[in-house]
Amino acid sequence: MDESTTHTTDTTNPHELSVVLAGGGTAGHVNPLLSIAAAIRSLKPTARITVIGTEVGLEARLVPAAGFDLEIINKVPFPRRPNLDALAFPPRWIRETRRVKQILQEVDADVVVGVGGYAAAPAYRAAQKMHLPLVIHEQNAKAGLANKLGSRWADFVGTVYDNTGLSVRTGAQIKRVGLPLRADIAAISAEMETDRRAARVRCAQQLGIDPDRPVLVVTGGSLGAVSMNRAISQSADVLLSQTQVIHLTGKGKSDEVRQTVTRVAGRQNISGIGPDSYGKGDYHLAEYLDHIELAFACADLVVCRSGAGTVSEIAALGLPAVYVPFPIGNGEQRFNAQPVVAAGGGVMVEDQNFTDAWVKAHVLQLLSDTETLQTMRERAWTYGVRDAANTMAHVIIDLARKEK
């Protein structure tokens, strides 16, 4: 079979559906991929689901842990400038595309799904050459190179944002579907939609905080954000006069925050996170929280970076937020936050302007203005999308059926 051979279904295949998902690298790619895979498995329990990724991305650990088969290829980054890597790109591209084609044949793929990342582009090319249905999900406000390439061949492109810079061929569809939520976020979202107060009380008990008092959640992601950590910790005394604080500092960044809070507000006000911390101090400090959805369920206000996943999850939960875009890069975090801010679900402040003076003037004002917080909560909830994984799964299954 050469690369232009049309796909045919093997009637001896015991699986009613064979789906191959490709992509990964970062949590921003892997989490949506796993959410889509789980939704497909829920709708089609006998489906064969295979993931194509690299050994250096998070998928190498998270995909097997989630119970899905993983096939490894080498990453093929697109060259961005003329150099030795650019000269090596063509043979690498050909080799990995052939490897993907082999995988697609071995699992008798009915449809290919990509989420971007190093492993996605060769999968898009192989699917196009084999005339397989192709579905793409783009989670960023400005699309990456892999998805820009693949969208030209795709049958359906689902996005989190409008105007991502992607274009599709005639007859294909591009639609804002939202971000496929992680299972824990989806579950807490459903719980909050049913009874927001009950969810808050349950989660507060697990975290060791008072559900009847305001809660400010601060997170800069797994690596943390030094500027945010400093602005918040330097405002600890003023913040604690009005709210409980759950401050997730990021890996290796808790010591500086602890020292600052001790100096500003006193060590007696610092506690950990968990049931045993109740009543031991209102500044709850940790580097990371495995189940951050517990904190989100209790939050009256969130201060955070504006990665695509973070913005989508917070909007889906209907949480007022202060977004502080990461100041380095091409500015994609600003683009991520703009739509929900424009919808009235949050505010945005530049990293250089997010100081302790700004926190004391604006965060405290927001926390004391219950009417504004409620309006922001409603508008964030309205903007947010909670069913993206199922939407994508239905599209994928329908395209596979048409192929059969």
Angstrom distances, CA of residue 262 to CA of 123, 152, 236, 259: 52, 56, 9, 5
Cα–Cα distance between 57 and 23 in angstroms, integer?
Answer: 9
Query: pLDDT tens digit string along 28-47?
Result: 899 999 999 999 999 999 99
* Measured distance CA(287)–CA(269) in Å, rounded: 17
Q: Which two tokens stand for residue 48?
A: 């064969």
Task: Describe the chain by its helix, strand, coil percentages, rounded to 5.
Answer: 50, 15, 40
Cβ neighbours, 10 Å, residue 403:
16
What percent of the chain has pLDDT above 90? Answer: 83
Q: What digits encode the pLDDT tens for the residues 221-280?
A: 877 799 999 999 999 999 999 999 999 999 999 999 999 999 999 999 999 999 999 989
Q: What is the pLDDT of residues 285-295, one digit of tens each?
A: 999 999 999 99
What pLDDT does residue 84 have?
Answer: 66
Residue 17: left if φ>0, alpha if ψ -120 to 50, beta else—which one? beta
Q: 18-181+387-403 in CATH: which number?
A: 3.40.50.2000
Exposed/middle/buried for residue 354 (C-beta within 10 Å: 0-12, 13-18, 19+): buried
| Token output for 290 | 């495995």
Tokens 């031991």 map to which residue? 280
Q: What is the pTM assigned to this prediction?
A: 0.89
Instruction: Say if CB 186 and CB 178 are below 8 A apart.
Output: no
The two tokens of residue 18 are 């064979």
Q: Is the pLDDT of residue 7 over 50?
A: no
- What is the rounded distance in angstroms from the CA atom of residue 298 to the CA atom of residue 207? 9
Distance CA 155, CA 135 (A): 6
CB 389 within 8 A of CB 397: no
Q: Domain 209-383 falls in which CATH fold?
A: Rossmann fold (3.40.50)
DSSP 70-95: EEE----PPP-SSSHHHHHHHHHHHH
Identity of the highest mean pLDDT range in 9-23, 66-80, 170-184: 170-184
* Continuous segment of H or E residues that includes residue 138: strand 134-138
- Residue at token pair 């109740």: 278
CB count in 10 Å sphere of residue 328: 8
109-164 pLDDT, tens digit per residue, is: 999 999 999 899 999 999 999 999 999 999 999 898 999 999 999 999 999 999 89
- DSSP tag of 288: -
Residues with Cβ within 8 Å of residue 44, at least 6 apart in sequence:
16, 17, 397
Same fold, 18-181+387-403 and 209-383: yes
- Tokens (6 digits) for 377: 């909560």
Domain ranges of the chain: 18-181+387-403, 209-383
